[in-house]
Amino acid sequence: MAKEKDTPLFDYNEESIKSLDWKEHIRLRPGMYIGKLGDGSSPDDGIYVLLKEVVDNCIDEFAMGYGKTIEINIEGKQVSVRDYGRGIPLGKVVDAVSKVNTGAKFDSKVFQKSVGLNGVGTKAVNALSNYFKVTAFREGKEKTAEFEKGFLIKEYKQEKTKESDGTMVTFIPDESMFKNFKFQVEFIENQVWNYCFLNAGLKIILNGRSFISRNGLLDLLERKTNADEIRYPIIHLTGNDIEVAITHNNDYGEDLYSFVNGQHTTQGGTHQQAFREAYVKTIRDFYKKDYDASDIRTGIVAAISVKVVEPVFESQTKTKLGSVNVDMDGPSMRQFVSDFLSKELDNYLHRNPSLSDELKKRIEQSERERKELSGIKKLANERAKKANLHNRKLRDCRIHLNEEAPSKNKDAFIALQNESTIFITEGDSASGSITKARNVETQAVFSLRGKPLNCFGLTKKVVYENEEFNLLQHALNIEEGMEGLRYNNIVIATDADVDGMHIRLLLMTFFLQFFPDLVKHGKVYVLETPLFRVRNKQETIYCYDETEKAAAIKKLGGKPEITRFKGLGEISPDEFAQFIGPDMRKQLMRLEQGDHIQQLLEYYMGKNTPERQEFIIENLKVEMDAPVEG
């Protein structure tokens, strides 16, 4: 008897095959082009990537010797960028911003060492903007075109102009894609500084304020470090198509900043790995001692910038460099970086014996600490295995079931990796709510048991001796540093009560004390959940503070029902799904420029002092539940 065929859930035929034009594809899969969307509360949110894509074109002009000034103006949600390069050829203005795989960067003679070669950048900005306007000024003439969400709405005729050559782009990100977004000036200033550090002599004017660097990566490291924290003066080395700056502090881990053709490769790549390997080899050869690699790199703060012909990035977002030669027929990246360091760094250390002595002391300090930890680490790793981490403490996300990117959907996979998030929660009730409400594809949950230890002033020994810290370290996969971090976003999710705030502070202390590079690179957040639910029979409004509560009461009128949430477990999973979805509110844990980590921790987490008592009293916020008029 013939077996009956299963009834298909839907027909698969010619009509099932869809072809999307460039605008539709970018808007349908924005993560493939700009990473995560976000609301501007994180430095890697999409609105900053849009700005970067426009400025990158200006930087390419500067790199080719045209235009030493870039002007950026941000007014509310509107961004304008003006460069003084050659200007887009007038006959190709519309095509350059609206036809994928169109651009001068495919001609290596014109843009030899540009950031990208795929002709997508400004097209993505165009497609993801409510309004997009481009004007090219060239040889006394100008050409303008206007778009809405990638659609051409008006093309102007060429006109005469007295403006200097160059290009001006104005755009407003699409609020249907970037919900409730707001530009944070400090994130943009950091972007602008990076551009200046990587392009010595370039002047960028942001909202009337000028930024310029004369010393490249030396200036970058001076900005990223505190003078009284570093162990020796910054080493600054430059060569053809490569620049390096290096120092050490007393922190744990590695703090590395890597760049390719002016692009900040936040996820590293072949050039960063080549630097890590070449640095270790050069140090071993110089001191004629086979130091452990981790001892050499612990506490390092370094930056490397390389320029290559036709860089190959692992995704459209250009955050990780793939395998590439420095020139088409030149050495591999590994050989190029190794040759440079083995000569220039070795010479520098020989010329500066007091510096090399201080570096040796730092390495040997790490060596002593590592040897003290060796036995404890082995036992801790065995305990972590026996603890059955993935069953007891961690509810992982599906993306980590297959760590390798599918070959046919690499950009989509990387977009999911950018969204990968781990929530660190307290107790079974809170972790249960988040576990039920989360997106299992990209969101994981780690459940704490009780309050963590205040680890200020303690050595890393406590990370292995304390079960909670040891298991958390294994869940994040950060024992060997940031390179292995399994989640792009670490979100501390605690109750909105005194105990919850205390646990939050203890976790923040843990990251600052032992893994400060995670904080410096913008990986750690604090989840904001609503404090109040205000509702009547027609509408429910969730409020995150007293001001929002007052506005909700006024809007709903009468005597609406008001609920004060104190614990995450009080919020039903259905409700919770709204607060950890695409519109999630979270605050980035960040250090202000010049902050000294140990001084900060001493002040807030050390012994009680009159100064701290006074600070608490002055900043105390008293919750008020008095009736609100109106």
Report how far residue 168's alpha carbon sits from residue 138's, in angstroms, rounded to the nearest whole number.
12
Q: Output b/e per residue, 261-282; b: 16+ Cβ within 10 A.
A: bbbbbbbbbbbbbbbbebbbeb
Reference 126, options 93, 157, 156; nearest CA is 93
Q: What is the pLDDT of residues 544-563, one digit of tens each?
A: 888 999 999 999 988 899 99
Report how far residue 478's alpha carbon sits from residue 521's, in angstroms, rounded to the nearest whole number.
14
SS3 456: coil
Report how far residue 129's alpha carbon sits from residue 171's, in angstroms, rounded to the nearest whole number.
6
Report how far residue 176's alpha carbon sits from residue 179's, in angstroms, rounded to the nearest whole number.
6
| CATH numbers and ranges of domains, the chain | 22-212 (3.30.565.10), 217-371 (3.30.230.10), 387-529+567-619 (3.40.50.670), 530-564 (no CATH)
What confidence category does residue 313 fall into, taking pLDDT thresholds of 50, 70 and 90? low
What confidence category does residue 570 fall into, taking pLDDT thresholds of 50, 70 and 90? confident
Evaluate if residue 629 carries a pLDDT over 60.
Answer: no
What confidence category does residue 228 fall into, taking pLDDT thresholds of 50, 70 and 90? confident
Show Cβ contacts of residue 191 under 8 Å, excluding neighbours closer than 6 positions.
Answer: 43, 48, 51, 52, 55
What pLDDT shows up at residue 143? 94
Q: What is the 3-state secondary structure (H, E, C) of 362-409?
A: HHHHHHHHHHHHHHHHHHHHHHHHHCCHHHHCEECCHHHHCCCCCHHH
Long-range contacts of 382-385 (CB under 8 A, 24+ apart): 383/467, 383/470, 384/470, 384/471, 384/474
What does 185-217 look like in DSSP terms, one character per residue? HHHHHHHHHHHHHHSTT-EEEETTEEEE-SSTH
DSSP 14: G
Show Cβ contacts of residue 499 under 8 Å, excluding neighbours closer than 6 positions.
Answer: 426, 451
Q: Which has the higher per-residue pLDDT, 121 or 587? A: 587
Using the structure block, give the residue that is written with the tokens 């390419």.
60
Give the lowest-confidence range in 126-140, 261-275, 377-391, 559-573: 377-391
What is the pTM for the complete model shown?
0.78
Q: What percent of the chain has pLDDT over 70?
A: 84
For residues 266, 270, 275, 280, the Cα torsion angle rounded to the nearest 10 degrees is: 120
Give the lowest-confidence range in 26-30, 77-81, 458-462: 26-30
What confidence category does residue 572 fall into, taking pLDDT thresholds of 50, 70 and 90? confident
For residues 334, 339, 345, 346, the Cα torsion angle rounded to the nearest 10 degrees is: 130
Question: What is the pLDDT of the chain when averaged over all its residues?
Answer: 84
What confidence category does residue 99 fall into, taking pLDDT thresholds of 50, 70 and 90? confident
Contact (Cβ atoms closer than 8 angstroms) between residue 123 and residue 147: no
What confidence category does residue 595 fall into, taking pLDDT thresholds of 50, 70 and 90? low
Evaluate if residue 104 carries a pLDDT over 60.
Answer: no
What pLDDT shows up at residue 16? 45
What confidence category does residue 1 fall into, taking pLDDT thresholds of 50, 70 and 90? very low
What pLDDT shows up at residue 111? 44
Give the lowest-confidence range in 206-220, 402-416, 556-570, 600-614: 402-416
